[in-house]
């Protein structure tokens, strides 16, 4: 992305945590400044204050009727966070916590380190709830009268992470669905919202030149896209049971499970019919060569399987069906993964062409078997709804750069 920005005549300062800068710093193009983010990051006590404010954001979302937030406010927490959540919920019975949360956020002291000299705007790739890392640089930008432009990192961020502690001046979105969320849920004016598509989804654009990559197996396989333990505590058990079941039936004896764990998970699976993704290293990867890899493994797969993952969306973009797991253990709600099928952002996927929900393990296996015999949906129908969530018909990196240049 920075290389494309450089060729477009855009330069500036890249801020990132020092540990990440050590790994990624050599890839920053000539002409850009690289500085550690730590001088603007929250200290210990400010972090605790921001965490309490974030709970207030979740309660504000639940008060507005968001089902995602209603589930989140019921999640198990440590004693202090439980007490803080209870206080916000009591307050919400009398008034909307959102203005109070934002007022308290504005009252926090601005960092001593000023906004980087020579920079006129703050481009903020964000998960929205990254307050400890990002609230300080946003306040520094405000003090320097620099506009803040937000780029949400996930397609679900606008309906699952709460509100912005400090509302950005402009926002780019993944597609029409998240553009609607920005206006309806966050109060952005339509003129503040621009659909660019997610920049890391460039391999799915129609004219993308994706390098040919070597597949980890020459047999048939299903991709199992992992989630965090909060969403599927028994994920490894399900994977092993599925691999065993596939091996017991003559029609699926040649099918193996290709497992790509969630970046937050550190462990793998040892099983003769489970292949670990050879490019998974644990944690989030900063290697640009890994970006086209998800497309490379999903496109030839029989299907993808997950207890909810962005990989479901990526699979639809290349015409590969997905099975969502609606059974098993979960840390939220009543203790069933099916609760996550009720999340609003998953409603944008469940029931769409090529996406089915399995309510039992037996359902999961029978669905794989049926998909292996006949297509679940036409690839064009799958891509049509997927691009409503992630509009990648054109290269999203180019659209993002056009957005920056047009609104500067």
DSSP E strands: which ranges in 86-219?
122-126, 148-152, 170-173, 193-195
Spatial separation of the C-alpha atoms in residues 105 and 131, rounded to whole Å: 10
Which structure tokens are listed for 150? 């937000």
pLDDT given at position 331: 46
CB-count burial class (<10 Å; 0-12, 13-18, 19+) for 334: exposed
Are 209 and 395 spatial neighbours (Cβ–Cβ below 8 Å)? no
pLDDT given at position 80: 94
The domain 220-385 is placed in CATH, from the list 3.40.1160.10, 3.40.50.2000, 3.30.450.20, 1.10.3720.10, at 3.40.50.2000
Grouped pLDDT means (10 residues each) for the chain, 408 residues: 92 92 85 94 95 95 83 86 96 95 93 93 94 94 96 91 94 96 95 96 90 82 84 83 94 94 80 91 76 92 90 95 82 52 75 91 94 90 96 96 87
Among residues 166, 147, 159, which one has the least CA distance to residue 183? 159
Spatial separation of the C-alpha atoms in residues 231 and 328, rounded to whole Å: 10
Among residues 362, 367, 290, 246, which one has the least CA distance to residue 258? 246
pLDDT given at position 375: 85
- Tokens 């039936």 -> residue: 249
pLDDT given at position 280: 85
Using alpha carbons only, give the angle 213, 214, 220 rounded to the nearest 5 degrees. 115
Among residues 153, 183, 196, 194, which one has the least CA distance to residue 391? 196
Which helix (H) or strand (E) segment holds residue 274: the answer is strand 274-276
pLDDT given at position 402: 95
Q: What is the pTM of this model?
A: 0.90
pLDDT given at position 197: 97
Cα dihedral 178, 183, 186, 187 in deg (nearest 10) = 170
Sequence spans of domains, the chain: 220-385
């Amino acid at each position: 992305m920075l290389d494309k920005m450089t060729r477009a005549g855009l330069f500036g300062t890249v801020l990132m945590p020092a540990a990440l800068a050590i790994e990624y710093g050599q890839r920053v193009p000539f002409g850009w400044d690289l500085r550690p983010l730590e001088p603007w990051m929250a200290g210990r006590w400010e972090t605790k204050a921001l965490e309490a404010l974030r709970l207030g954001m979740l309660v504000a979302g639940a008060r507005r009727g968001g089902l995602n937030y209603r589930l989140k406010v019921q999640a198990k927490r440590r004693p202090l966070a439980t007490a803080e959540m209870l206080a916000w919920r009591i307050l919400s019975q009398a008034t909307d916590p959102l203005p109070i949360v934002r007022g308290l956020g504005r009252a926090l002291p601005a960092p001593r380190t000023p906004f980087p000299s020579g920079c006129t705007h703050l481009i903020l790739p964000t998960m929205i709830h990254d307050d400890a890392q990002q609230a300080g640089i946003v306040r520094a930008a405000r003090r320097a009268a620099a506009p803040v432009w937000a780029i949400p990192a996930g397609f679900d961020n606008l309906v699952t992470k709460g509100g912005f502690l400090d509302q950005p001046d402009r926002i780019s979105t993944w597609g029409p669905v998240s553009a609607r969320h920005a206006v309806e849920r966050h109060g952005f004016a339509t003129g503040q919202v621009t659909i660019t598509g997610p920049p890391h989804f460039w391999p799915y654009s129609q004219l993308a030149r994706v390098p040919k990559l070597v597949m980890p197996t020459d047999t048939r396989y299903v991709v199992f896209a992992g989630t965090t333990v909060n969403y599927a505590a028994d994920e490894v058990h399900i994977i092993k049971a599925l691999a065993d079941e596939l091996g017991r039936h003559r029609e699926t004896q040649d099918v193996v499970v290709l497992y790509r764990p969630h970046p937050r998970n550190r462990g793998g699976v040892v099983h003769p019919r489970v292949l670990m993704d050879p490019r998974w290293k644990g944690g989030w990867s900063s290697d640009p060569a890994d970006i086209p890899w998800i497309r490379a493994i999903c496109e030839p797969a029989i299907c993808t399987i997950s207890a909810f993952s962005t990989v479901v969306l990526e699979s639809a973009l290349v015409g590969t069906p997905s099975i969502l797991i609606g059974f098993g253990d979960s840390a939220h709600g009543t203790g069933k993964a099916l609760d996550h099928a009720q999340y609003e952002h998953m409603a944008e996927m469940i029931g769409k062409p090529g996406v089915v929900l399995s309510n039992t393990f037996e359902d999961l296996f029978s669905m794989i078997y049926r998909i292996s015999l006949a297509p679940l949906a036409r690839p064009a129908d799958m891509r049509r709804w997927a691009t409503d969530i992630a509009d990648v018909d054109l290269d999203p990196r180019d659209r993002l750069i056009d957005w920056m240049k047009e609104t500067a």
